[in-house]
Chain A
């Protein structure tokens, strides 16, 4: 595996965009922590940025990179290499590069200014979201042959998870507000990695008390051992399943 990953990481490393992403994250994190006098407030401000920016950059950058790697893929599929290994290496290369960017840009400032529960959870969730959206980008790129369409699908996926999904959940909760929906809302939150990440971070902060009754339900469920285990497994599935699906599709794809 590592031979091809090495070449991919080397190639991504030469790309200035990934460097720009790191610097931007670093600037945002540092300025927020300094504006808010460090600590929990800084984490709260960072939260929304991470839940929006990290998935967007991960999925768009990875999808475009995969389309641009068409030549690379074409060159290597006629060589004695397993196809699954080729796609695995691309996924690993992208995931490693984006994760390292995130850890330098956000992870380092958080560790300096707020190395406590919520801060650490923020870093974990950000890393998980990077993996999830890289996996989704691999799926988008494998499923669609057309570049513009593939990038469109990737952006729409982000749009759905980052913005649309919450709207749908709110709609359901309002429409059926006469019924007990606590269990449903927990189940629904498992269907969106961004929501899941938000809940996991908020529960580590004092502000979760502000989330009212449903906040209490979330706290009861996700605060416990089983709850956080389920949330962790759900995030892992979100990172793994799209990629496994892409792998299956790719091993039978005509190139």
Chain B
């Protein structure tokens, strides 16, 4: 579904991504894990076409994304920090995106309902708290029923109830056979929603294997402990 091959990216002299190869299939739920500054967000932005790789190819549904834009109709993206035009109300942001993605078909309005956004639809974006903005951001990512969901630290800033709602939603979509790419530093919450783990360090993909495999390899039962093991052995 998404295949990344030999992707390199430098910001100035700093290499951010080095020779990344990653294949993602429908039905997989992949956790992108790595220390701060390891290139997780840059990799995601490359897939979205927001950052242009220096070399390498990225295929989405078998087609190269270079100079393409239509493929983004298949992707729902929730950024790390949702930034929205200050003067628009929540309703206007929703309407604008619906207007732009008119051919999306049936809309999935579970999340706005679960987050009770309907009561604050006429509030302007700059008056919202960080958490509420994250709720809007998450709602927009799921709204168009995309085949691929890319979630960059989805639970950061959400209250426990909302985080649980979102987690439930992610699990539901995973079971529908969608591809989910998710980054998070809160590993304990990833345990029951991911099927695969991709570990990035210093711009290099150290491994990409299934969660079961990782647990067997490290002999740990929890993702958090397994990753801790990996990080320790990387330092040694």
Contact = CB atoms under 8 A, between A and B. Distances in A.
A78 B50 contact: yes
Interface residues of A, number: 24
Interface stretch (A3-11, A45-53, A197-205): A3-11
Interface string B42-80: 000100111110000000000000000111110101010
B8 to A, nearest CB: 14
Contacts of A69: 85
Given A78-B48, A81-B100, A254-B52, A71 B84 contact: yes
Contact of B51 (A68, A74, A75, A254): A254
B69 A80 contact: yes
Contact of B50 (A7, A11, A71, A254): A254
B25 to A, nearest CB: 22
A124 B83 CA distance: 39
Interface string A76-103: 1111111100000000000000000000
Contacts of A68: 86
Interface residues of B, number: 27
A77 B72 CA distance: 9
A3 B69 contact: no
B97 interface: yes
A235 to B, nearest CB: 32
Contacts of A75: 83-85, 93, 97
A255 interface: yes
B217 interface: no
Contact of A7 (B69, B84, B96): B96
Contacts of B75: 78
A250 to B, nearest CB: 11
Contacts of B88: 11
Given A76-B100, A78-B72, A79-B72, A255 B83 contact: no
A72 interface: yes
Q: Which 3 A-B pairs have the closest CB atoms?
A: A80-B73, A71-B83, A80-B72
Given A14-B87, A77-B48, A80-B73, 10 more contacts: A3-B99, A11-B85, A74-B83, A75-B85, A78-B50, A79-B97, A80-B70, A81-B69, A81-B72, A253-B52
